[in-house]
């Protein structure tokens, strides 16, 4: 299966598919933190044709509800981000999955087909993740574990410890940590979606 992992610099999902023998590539405007000749450093909109499966992780900076207090000051940026999401969802690929946290995609484009958590796939962490699917089945939980530790800030806000710990790093590195796909989810995508044949669309 020819697989494009769009907007992925970590290489985690790309490598999960490669491990199972798929012809997989990642693409992002920045270099991959997992160096590989199978990483395309370019605008992904130039590379959306010719794939059996596209899994996209568009930046959530202007889309996630966690930044809702800033929405009024970045109307154009949000419109651009939504147009980018639409381009990915409408790519000419028979199977598409798009991942993002809870945000305005749900109200401005359409509601997600599935909401998952890392703890459903053997990772003891909380990270609410929405999936928009085209001709793909919902991911089935592989190993339900605990939700992991949480940190309570002085403001009273409660965040998963892994997310709070990322604050110790510079902004660029913090963003990489928070956007990285958990291995258990990447493996589930590769095993469950990678095993679909041409006639297994839904």
pLDDT in tens, 8-59: 999 999 999 999 999 999 999 999 999 999 999 999 999 999 999 999 999 9
Classify residue 202: in a domain, yes or no.
Answer: no
Q: How large is the greatest C-alpha to C-alpha distance in the chain, in angstroms? A: 53
Give start and end residues of each alpha helix (H) in the chain: 12-19, 75-89, 105-108, 161-165, 171-179, 183-188
Predicted local distance difference test score (pLDDT) of residue 192? 98
SS3 139: coil
Question: Within a domain: residue 170?
Answer: no
Q: What's the pLDDT at 184?
A: 98
| pLDDT of 68 | 66
Task: Report strand pairing: 53-56 vs 2-6.
Answer: parallel
Residue for token pair 């590379």: 47
* Residue ranges in the chain modelled with pLDDT below 50: none
Do the Cβ atoms of 103 and 64 come closer than 8 Å? Answer: yes
Instruction: Domain of residue 70: give its range.
Output: 2-145+180-193
CATH classification at residue 132: 3.40.50.150
Which pLDDT value is given to residue 70?
64
Output the pLDDT for position 128: 96
- Which pLDDT score, from 0 to 100, does residue 198 have? 61
198 located within any domain: no
Residue 42: inside a domain: yes
Residue 164 lies in a domain: no
Give domain status of residue 108, yes or no. Answer: yes
Q: What's the confidence (pLDDT) of residue 130? A: 98
- DSSP annotation of 137: P
pLDDT reported for residue 42: 98
Domain contains 71: yes
Residue 118 domain-assigned (yes or no): yes
Domains of the chain: total: 1
What the block records as the tokens of 139 is 């991911």
pLDDT at 61: 85
């Amino acid at each position: 299966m020819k697989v494009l992992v769009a907007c992925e610099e970590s290489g985690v999902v790309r490598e999960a598919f490669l491990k199972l023998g798929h012809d997989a590539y990642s693409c992002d405007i920045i270099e991959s933190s997992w160096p590989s000749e199978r990483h395309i450093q370019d605008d992904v909109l130039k590379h959306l044709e010719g794939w059996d499966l596209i899994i996209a992780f568009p930046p959530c900076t202007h889309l996630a509800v966690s930044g809702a207090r800033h929405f009024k000051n970045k109307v154009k940026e949000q419109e651009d981000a939504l147009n980018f999401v639409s381009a990915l969802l409408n790519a000419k690929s028979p199977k598409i999955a798009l991942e993002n946290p809870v945000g305005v995609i749900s109200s401005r484009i359409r509601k997600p087909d599935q909401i998952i958590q890392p703890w459903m796939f053997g990772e003891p962490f909380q990270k609410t993740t929405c999936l928009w699917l085209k001709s793909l089945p919902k991911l089935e939980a592989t190993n339900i574990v605990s939700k992991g530790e949480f940190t309570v800030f002085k403001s009273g806000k409660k965040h998963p410890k892994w997310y709070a710990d990322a604050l110790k790093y510079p902004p660029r590195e913090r963003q990489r940590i928070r956007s990285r796909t958990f291995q258990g989810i990447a493996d589930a995508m590769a095993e469950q979606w990678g095993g679909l044949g041409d006639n297994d669309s839904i």
